Structure formats: C-alpha cells, structure tokens
C-alpha cells in the first residue's frame, strides 16, 4: 500500500515524508469538484455532479502529467485477464453490499431515507431519458467517480502524508467521507452515510488491489448504477 513515485510511477518505498506537491494536487481537485458542482447546481440538479467530475478529470489529467504520471499509474489499465477481472468485480460488489447493508442499520435508526429526492423521477417510462442517464452512468457514474474518488484522492492523500499503511487507510477513510458528502445534496444524511460506507468498501478494495487495478471497481460501480436506473425506468422498487 505504498505510494507512487513522481518519476516513474512505481511504488515508493519511503514512508513518512510529507509531500506538499501531492497535497496541492489533492486540494485543487477537491476545490474543482466542490466549486463547479455548487456553481452549476442552481441551474441543473441533474448535471451539477457530472459537470464537476468532467472538470476534475481534465484538471486531474493535467496535474498528473505535470508530475510525470498518468491515470494508468493509478490503476487505469485495460484488463489483461478478463476472468480475474470478473472475479474481482464480484468480490468488490459483495464488499459494497455488505458495507452498505451494515451502515443502513445505523442510518435507518437515526435519519430519514429520502431516496434520490426526485432527481431521477423523469426516467420512469422515458426511453430517451433512460438512454441519456445510462450514458452518464458509464462515464460520470463509474469511470470518472472511481478514477477521482478512489484512484486520485486516495493516491494523492496517501502520498501527501508519507505513504505507508496508516496513510493509505486514512486516505481511504477521507475519500469515503468526501464521497458521502458529494451525495448529501440529494440523498440526505441517510444516503450520504450509506454511500460513504460503500465508498469505503471500494477504497479498501482499491488498496487491496495494490492501486494497480481500478477496472473491477469501475465495472462494479457501473453495474450497480445501471441496475438502479433500469429499475427506475421500469418502475420497479429497488
């Protein structure tokens, strides 16, 4: 669970060294995600999130390139073994379900479940809207969110604070809290807690994969979102 070096993208062996450059990268991306979303939100409840992740992906790519890195150094590689990838995707989905079900017990006891606050109501029975939302699912809602909230945030946070298992776990926890916060505006505290728990499960999977394989998480995230939106389109209670 060591960090990634700025020179060749290989895991660093030095733990405990503060890296202000990585911290600056992290703060810039967090600022882009928050500012863009809050700026677009008054005009579009549906597209505020996607607008912020697209913006953050562009800025994140620039920041990584400035340090001699790319998304592949954070685990974005096409699978070499599809059977292994399928297996890791299933394991990731099981971990996500376990984490969210456990957190739901707590969330149900203290907070109201507001669902998605009507954000996706227009999808029910609307084929054009369904196709449009599925495009978002497999860009913003799977690839972009995993690359940003798992790969970029975890890597930059861990590297910033010296790497090692403590920094990795702290980075996983921080990324999950931020991921939950990102969903608060339409899911409320109930949904934010459950989403954050799912994000933490994915974060631990990312660390378990050695930060070298983000694809199982992208596929798992996309499958969950696809099922949810398909249920909405068909008016099936999920």
| Tens of pLDDT, residues 151-187 | 999 999 999 999 999 999 999 999 999 999 999 999 9
Whole-number Å distance between alpha carbons of 15 and 234: 51
| Tens of pLDDT, residues 101-150 | 999 999 999 999 998 888 999 999 999 999 999 999 999 999 999 999 99
Nearest to 49 by CA among 27, 63, 32: 32
Say if CB 105 and CB 14 are below 8 A apart.
Answer: no
Q: Is the confidence at residue 189, as pLDDT, over 80?
A: yes
| Tens of pLDDT, residues 24-69 | 999 999 999 999 999 999 999 899 999 999 999 999 999 999 999 9
Say if CB 188 and CB 112 are below 8 A apart.
Answer: yes
Contacts of 182 (CB under 8 A, 6+ apart): 33, 37, 49, 149, 195
**pLDDT value of position 15:** 58
Q: Is the confidence at residue 2, as pLDDT, over 70?
A: no
Question: For residue 76, what are its two tokens?
Answer: 């974005």
Whole-number Å distance between alpha carbons of 12 and 5: 5
What is the number of alpha carbons within 13 Å of residue 153 lying toward its C-beta?
A: 29
Nearest to 182 by CA among 48, 23, 43: 48
Q: Is the confidence at residue 71, as pLDDT, over 70?
A: yes
Q: From the CB of residue 16, how many other CB atoms can be counted at a distance below 10 Å?
A: 10
Q: Is the confidence at residue 5, as pLDDT, over 80?
A: no
Q: How confident is the model at residue 238 (pLDDT cuts 50, 70, 90)?
A: low
């Amino acid at each position: 669970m060591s960090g990634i070096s700025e020179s060749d993208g290989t895991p660093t062996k030095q733990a405990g060294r503060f890296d202000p450059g990585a911290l600056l990268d992290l703060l810039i991306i967090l600022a882009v995600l928050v500012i863009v979303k809050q700026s677009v939100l008054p005009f579009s409840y549906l597209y505020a999130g996607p607008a912020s992740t697209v913006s953050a992906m562009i800025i994140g790519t620039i920041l990584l390139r400035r340090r001699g890195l790319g998304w592949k150094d954070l685990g974005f590689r096409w699978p070499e073994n599809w059977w292994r990838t399928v297996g890791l995707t299933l394991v990731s989905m099981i971990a996500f379900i376990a984490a969210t079900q456990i957190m739901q017990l707590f969330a149900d006891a203290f907070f109201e479940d507001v669902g998605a606050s009507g954000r996706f109501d227009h999808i029910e029975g609307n084929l054009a809207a369904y196709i449009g939302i599925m495009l978002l699912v497999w860009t913003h809602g799977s690839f972009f969110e995993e690359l940003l909230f798992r790969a970029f945030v975890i890597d930059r946070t861990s590297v910033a604070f010296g790497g090692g298992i403590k920094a990795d776990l702290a980075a996983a926890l921080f990324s999950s809290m931020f991921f939950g916060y990102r969903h608060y505006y339409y899911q409320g505290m109930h949904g934010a807690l459950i989403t954050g728990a799912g994000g933490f499960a994915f974060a631990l999977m990312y660390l378990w994969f050695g930060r070298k394989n983000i694809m199982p998480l992208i596929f798992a995230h996309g499958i969950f979102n696809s099922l949810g939106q398909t249920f909405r389109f068909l008016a099936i209670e999920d």
